[in-house]
Amino acid sequence: MAARAIAITLALNARQLSAIFRSESGHNTLFQVDLSGKHEPAILKDWLVDPITGKLLHVDLLRVAMDVRMRVKVPVHTFGEPAGVKQQGGVYEIVTREVEIECLPAEIPTEFKADVSSLMMGQQLRASDLAIPSNMKLLTDADRVLAHVVALRVEEEKPVDAVAAEAATPAEPEVIKKGKKEVEGEEGEEPEAKGKAEKSDKGEKGEKKK
């Protein structure tokens, strides 16, 4: 049966902890905690910061055994200008900034570095491309994309001819046009009908004179 972890409340120096966060190893820094005269190795597990002042409010420490492998997340830093950006006009994007590994506490690396100078358009830097030492085990999916070079997204514009054609298109529906033609036709028939009526009147007058 595994031993049950016991939580211990400690008073810590906030300045010292802030210095640890700013150090090269960051939250993976392994340090010694004085427990009634006995020094125990520990690592930062979790922390709480005031969102307004940025002041460190609370931290959780994890006591570690130096001979037991543990899981930690290590930051990934890239360097170099990708060829896909310099030669092909692409855009370099960072997708994932850290990977998870398993190793002994004393072997925790501060970071992993990767040269992305050879990345062309459409190519990716994956977790499997990192130089992971043999004494460490990569827990992050080997196919996880860490960074890539993609094409610049440009909103497609309509051709000038298409815009001019849309502007020249009549706004009135075809049904209204037909209605107008019918009205014009009816108005055109009125003079002819009137002429016929006048002729009829003249004929009637002529007959009366006789």
Contacts 24+ apart (CB under 8 A), 151-157: 151/90, 151/91, 151/121, 151/122, 152/89, 152/90, 152/91
Alpha carbon 131 to chain centroid distance?
27
Q: Is 123 exposed, middle or buried (0-12, 13-18, 19+ CB in 10 A)?
A: middle
Rounded to an integer, what distance in angstroms lies between the CA atom of residue 196 and that of residue 202?
10
pLDDT at 2: 46
Q: What is the pLDDT of residues 25-54, one digit of tens each?
A: 777 888 888 777 788 888 888 888 888 887
Q: What is the pLDDT of residues 50-108, one digit of tens each?
A: 888 878 777 888 888 899 999 999 999 999 999 999 999 999 999 999 999 999 999 99
Structure tokens at 70: 């543990």
pTM: 0.62
Rounded to an integer, what distance in angstroms lies between the CA atom of residue 164 and that of residue 41?
75
Q: What is the pLDDT of residues 162-210, one digit of tens each?
A: 555 666 565 555 555 555 444 444 444 455 545 555 555 555 555 544 4
pLDDT at 195: 52
Q: Where are the domains of the chain?
A: 1-64, 160-201
Rounded to an integer, what distance in angstroms lies between the CA atom of residue 98 and that of residue 2?
31
Are the CB atoms for 45 and 5 separated by under 8 Å? no
Is the predicted pLDDT of residue 11 greater than 50, yes or no? yes
Q: What is the pLDDT of residues 118-170, one digit of tens each?
A: 999 999 999 999 999 999 999 999 999 999 999 987 655 556 565 556 665 65
Non-local (6+) Cβ contacts of 3 within 8 A are none
pLDDT at 150: 94
pLDDT at 9: 72
pLDDT at 180: 47
Alpha carbon 10 to chain centroid distance?
40
